[in-house]
Amino acid sequence: MPALPALPLRSSLPGALWPPLPEAGGATVLAMLWQLERSERLPRPRRAALQLVQARALIRHAARHSTAWAAAWKGLGFDPARDALTPERFARLPVVDRGWLQAAGTAASCEAVPPEHGALHEAETAGTTGLALRFRGTLLSQFMWRAITLRDHLWHRRDFSGHLAALRPLPMREVREDNWGAATAGLCDTGPATGLSVSESLDEQARWLRQENPDVLVTQPGNLRALAEWFLGHGGAPTRLSCLRSTGEPLTPAIRLLAQRAFGLPVEDAYSARETGYLALQCPRHGHLHVQEEAVILELLDEKGVAVPPGAPGRVVVTVLHNFASPLVRYDTGDWAVAGAPACDCGRTLATLERVLGRGRNRLRRSDGVPRWPAFDPWLLPGTQGLVDWQVRQQGPRRFEMLLVVGECFDAASRDVFARALGADLGEPCEVTFRVVDRIDRGPGERREPFIDLQAS
Ligand SMILES: [Zn+2]
């Protein structure tokens, strides 16, 4: 069944109530959604060929209007500004990282952008001082963000009349709007949207959630876990919730389980980054994510630059197809993800990500040098109450420090349980020292970082 009829369209023409005629901007998004509903079911080779058509237009533009990209693509044996782009040639383009973009500065942006792509805006990624990345976007890149936000709502059949509440990083304490924002503006009517800063205490967040009693809750996985624990301990979870949407950090299987227990709902996850826009949305039928292949070419590569097979972790390397102002071509995002199965029984042929793992610096390393994404989660270990927050920091081979934020009922004997479980997870005994702290600092973008390899930073 097509999802589009689920959109409660708003007519902009007085007297023309049915069928409704949205205003021009909304109608253009609707036209894109109509295309996305078809392209997500195309045979994969057909969609891959279309991606390359768009990538070629982007790469030609970047080669002609950005000195940094033109220099990076010298000596490849073909001219990206003129020659046809084949899959083999695309794979020869160098992978660039954030360090390269920062060194290139404004030279990595284009001095000319097709005026039809709309007004330019400046933005910045989250990052500690010196690590943030400045970039520009266009109305076209915002338009793709808008279309995919709506696709996410439609895939998960969200009720647009509901109250949406977000707990996220905010420059102020609280926001209150009478609609869901830019994605639905001019297209359909929605319920209200409210937001509270995620830096408020858990007690305050819980009180606010009970007061708002929303239908949709959007927050980061780390905060969702803390809230789930809070409501499991105190009771009185909000009663109307029909959707839990997570974003901004890797969502772990443990957090999914805990949220399901606390709120009686599965979590719907999305993977995006400021500089790239949406990368993947959770499948409506499964826990894995579908790559947004109409907006990005997403590659998962091993340390040698070779595509990883399903089930294996790889670096997330992205080409953003519609940003002609600050092009990103084979950009290493710094994230790692696990490649998913090649097919999904939901009928969509979009590639899948089994799981997003996070930043390379959030891995640990065995003493033989093999990196490892730990499954260790002290919150899941039996008989260890009172652990409020934690972080494992690797100081050297087999040497770790575990920071603990603890409540009154914490039993110091739990530390031995943690040390054994961490060693079992890494497959070798390790030395763990413990330090009780008042709070654990968040990473860039208010991200919770359960693991940090201090050897890598
Ligand atoms: Zn699917």
**Domains (range + CATH), the chain:** 364-377+385-453 (3.30.300)
SS3 at position 359: strand
C-alpha 335 to ligand 1 mean position (Å): 22
Is residue 164 within a helix (H) or strand (E), and if so which, with residue range? strand 164-168
Measure the CA angle with vertex 238, ends 235 and 239; round to 5°. 105
SS3 at position 154: helix
End-to-end Cα distance, the chain: 49
- Output the pLDDT for position 291: 98
Residue 18 burial (CB count, 10 A): 7
DSSP state of 446: G
DSSP state of 22: -
Buried b (16+ CB within 10 A) or exposed e, 126-149: beeeeebbebbbbebbbbbbbbbb
C-alpha 98 to ligand 1 mean position (Å): 31
C-alpha 42 to ligand 1 mean position (Å): 13
- Output the pLDDT for position 113: 97
C-alpha 287 to ligand 1 mean position (Å): 9
C-alpha 403 to ligand 1 mean position (Å): 38
> Across the chain, how many H-helices and E-strands are there?
10, 20
How far apart are alpha carbons 211 and 439 in whole angstroms? 27
Residue 299: closest CA among 290, 311, 307: 307
Partners of residue 273 on adjacent β-strands: 277
C-alpha 347 to ligand 1 mean position (Å): 6
C-alpha 162 to ligand 1 mean position (Å): 25
Partners of residue 320 on adjacent β-strands: 296
C-alpha 288 to ligand 1 mean position (Å): 8
C-alpha 36 to ligand 1 mean position (Å): 14
C-alpha 165 to ligand 1 mean position (Å): 26
How far apart are alpha carbons 20 and 6 in whole angstroms? 13
C-alpha 120 to ligand 1 mean position (Å): 34
Cβ-based neighbours of 230, under 8 Å, separated by 6 or more = 202, 203, 205, 206
C-alpha 40 to ligand 1 mean position (Å): 10
Cα 236 off chain centre by: 30
In tens digits, the chain (457 residues) has pLDDT values of 455 557 889 999 999 999 999 999 999 999 999 999 999 999 999 999 999 999 999 999 999 999 999 999 999 999 999 999 999 999 999 999 999 999 999 999 999 999 999 999 999 887 655 578 899 999 999 999 999 999 999 999 999 999 999 999 899 999 999 999 999 988 999 999 999 999 899 999 999 999 999 999 999 998 999 899 899 989 999 999 999 999 988 998 889 999 999 999 999 999 999 999 999 999 999 999 999 999 999 999 998 999 999 999 999 999 999 999 999 999 999 999 999 998 899 999 999 999 999 888 889 999 998 888 888 988 888 777 888 889 999 999 999 999 999 988 888 889 999 999 999 999 999 999 999 999 998 877 677 889 999 987 5
pTM of the model: 0.92
How far apart are alpha carbons 215 and 198 in whole angstroms? 18
- Output the pLDDT for position 7: 86
Question: Are the CB atoms for 326 and 140 separated by under 8 Å?
Answer: no
How far apart are alpha carbons 202 and 377 in whole angstroms? 20
SS3 at position 77: coil
How far apart are alpha carbons 138 and 327 in whole angstroms? 11
C-alpha 155 to ligand 1 mean position (Å): 10
DSSP state of 314: E
How far apart are alpha carbons 155 and 393 in whole angstroms? 38
Question: Are the CB atoms for 139 and 119 separated by under 8 Å?
Answer: yes
C-alpha 246 to ligand 1 mean position (Å): 18
Q: What are phi and psi of 9, to 5 degrees?
A: -65, 145
DSSP state of 447: -
C-alpha 284 to ligand 1 mean position (Å): 6
The residue whose two tokens read 């994605």 is 183
- Output the pLDDT for position 1: 47
C-alpha 250 to ligand 1 mean position (Å): 19
How far apart are alpha carbons 47 and 51 in whole angstroms? 6
C-alpha 285 to ligand 1 mean position (Å): 6
How far apart are alpha carbons 185 and 146 in whole angstroms? 10
CA distances from 155 to 6, 36, 284, 345 (A): 10, 11, 6, 14
Is residue 424 within a helix (H) or strand (E), and if so which, with residue range? helix 414-426
C-alpha 344 to ligand 1 mean position (Å): 5
Q: For ligand 1, a single-atom ion, which residues have Cβ within 5 Å?
A: 283, 344, 346, 348
Partners of residue 289 on adjacent β-strands: 282, 353
C-alpha 133 to ligand 1 mean position (Å): 33
C-alpha 291 to ligand 1 mean position (Å): 10
C-alpha 354 to ligand 1 mean position (Å): 11
SS3 at position 134: strand
C-alpha 286 to ligand 1 mean position (Å): 6
